Chains A and B, each alone.
Chain A
């Protein structure tokens, strides 16, 4: 619910300080796309050419291990951006898949757009730098939780970051993101309900 559906142009104006005039210059580089649930936007081995801004819907990035098991790296819903940054930056094959968990409307952001926006807007460049730092912060925190936190601690952190995901994504996906089995997720939620639910 913290994610309110806004358009990409509104996002650029309110979050990245892009002016009406700059928006006109950027308009041609903004490409929107509507995809159905299950559509794949990036496959392992491909070079990632775009980042995806979600106007509406839900995407996930994940890997598939040697045994065929999926491991979810990130979810992205309204106003989030998802991509494989390193594949884009280093122009190397991606380790990840990105696909749609729900029917989605998204904006394709390519390097030309980023370069142009950074060139014409100082505030966008600062915003973009900050977004990268924020991404690294999240990844570090996530590594730390995966290495050392209990299933419940991971779950409590997850619901802070993704308050509505429990109502949008299937349990097995959430368990996969948390690095626990669906049975463990079920146990964590039962245990919380035992502590917090006051039956009528």
Chain B
């Protein structure tokens, strides 16, 4: 098997606020050479790097907004998020947990800092990803997968190197609990200083890393600091990550969905007509109703 080489390392862009509760660096799709087509099925990645939110009586967050045509995946590294939707669903995403929401045909939802976290304030660190859906599944039924940290697959690395937490896909036959519509690997490599892990994904999968904590060396050559994003070439299968200090790395690899993308705001469909339909449907209450 051949080595999968690094195509580029992206530094975090200037942060912007989503609502008043998420201070994010966008990597996908606004990053250089990180557009939706290149990164499919990962069509959006907002990264709230460690940020200290002061205590707030009124929870900060994002008000009611719709989604259609894809899945949102929220990975909470620090802090807690509460969410509600127009079908009466809701819950809390705690530290280390993941919420995998299949918006598909459409939901209205809102996301806020969880009440207790908001009152005390503190360090908040989170990733939100949008995972595209194939055309045939875009109008399927919305659903949630609340994935608690304890339910994730866990592969212990030899020599006290740390472990790999599997949210989706598999790592050395350890499977992640998330069910996906197309092949998606989403894993956290939690490495002790000096620990090393090797990964292998098909050459044509779009593959990337986000260094959440610490700094790492990739393929024994490239040093990647905290909060940086790595895109691999679509050639070769194997790469290694070595922790230069205690490190957490989000590993993403998925089969590209080779279909036209027509995206506008919170909708990601295949054609312009489908986007116009999405606006009509929201306006006519077909996504339900949710109080702000």
A and B assemble together: yes
Q: Which of the 9-residue segments B3-11, B222-230, B274-282 touches chain A?
A: B274-282
Q: Which of B112-151 contact A (CB under 8 A)?
A: 141-143
The CA-CA distance from A193 to B85 in the complex, in Å, is 13
Q: Looking at the assembled complex, report how far the CB atom of A29 sits from the nearest CB atom of chain B, in whole angstroms.
A: 33
Identity of the chain A residue whose Cβ is nearest the Cβ of B282 in the assembled complex: A166
Contacts of B289 in A (CB 8 A): 189-190, 192-194, 197
Chain B interface residue count, Cβ-Cβ cutoff 8 angstroms = 26
Q: Which residue from A167, A189, A190, A198 sits with its C-beta under 8 Å from B266?
A: A167
Query: Which residue of chain A is the closest to B141 with respect to CB atoms?
Result: A200
Instruction: Assess the A1–B279 pair: CB atoms within 8 A.
Output: yes
Residues of A at the B interface (CB closer than 8 Å) are 1-2, 159, 163-164, 166-167, 171, 186, 189-200
B86 within 8 A of A: yes
Complexed CA–CA distance, A33 and B285 (Å):
37
Which of B87, B88, B141, B279 is the one whose CB lies under 8 Å from A163?
B279
A193 touching B288, Cβ below 8 Å: yes
- Could you tell me which B residues sit within 8 Å of A by CB distance? 65-66, 86-88, 141-143, 264-266, 272, 275-276, 279-280, 282-289, 291-292
- Cβ of A197: which chain B residues have Cβ within 8 Å of it? 86, 285-289
Nearest neighbor of B287 in chain A, beta-carbon distance: A197
CA separation between A169 and B143, bound complex, in Å?
Answer: 28
Report yes or no: B276 in contact with A163, Cβ–Cβ below 8 A: yes
Q: A167-B65, A200-B87 are in contact. List 7 more A-B contacts (CB 8 A).
A: A1-B272, A159-B283, A166-B283, A192-B285, A193-B285, A196-B286, A197-B288
Q: Which of B143, B264, B275, B283 contacts A200 (CB 8 A)?
A: B143
Say whether B276 contacts A2, CB under 8 Å.
yes
> In the complex, how many angstroms separate the beta carbon of A4 from the nearest chain B beta carbon?
9
Bound together, the chains give a CA A89 to CA B280 distance in angstroms of: 37
| Minimum distance in angstroms from B90 CB to a CB of chain A | 14
A159 to B278, CA, bound (A): 12
Given contacts A164-B279, A167-B266, contact A199 B285 (CB under 8 A): no
What are the residues of chain A within 8 A of B283 when measuring CB–CB? Answer: 159, 163, 166
Tell me how far the C-beta of B244 lies from the nearest C-beta in chain A, rounded to whole angstroms: 41
Task: Show 30 residue pairs from A and B whose CB-CB distance is below 8 angstroms, ordered by the A residue.
Answer: A1-B272, A1-B279, A2-B276, A159-B280, A163-B276, A163-B279, A164-B279, A166-B282, A166-B283, A167-B282, A186-B291, A189-B285, A189-B289, A191-B285, A192-B284, A192-B285, A192-B289, A193-B289, A194-B285, A194-B289, A195-B285, A196-B284, A196-B285, A197-B287, A197-B289, A199-B87, A199-B88, A200-B87, A200-B142, A200-B143
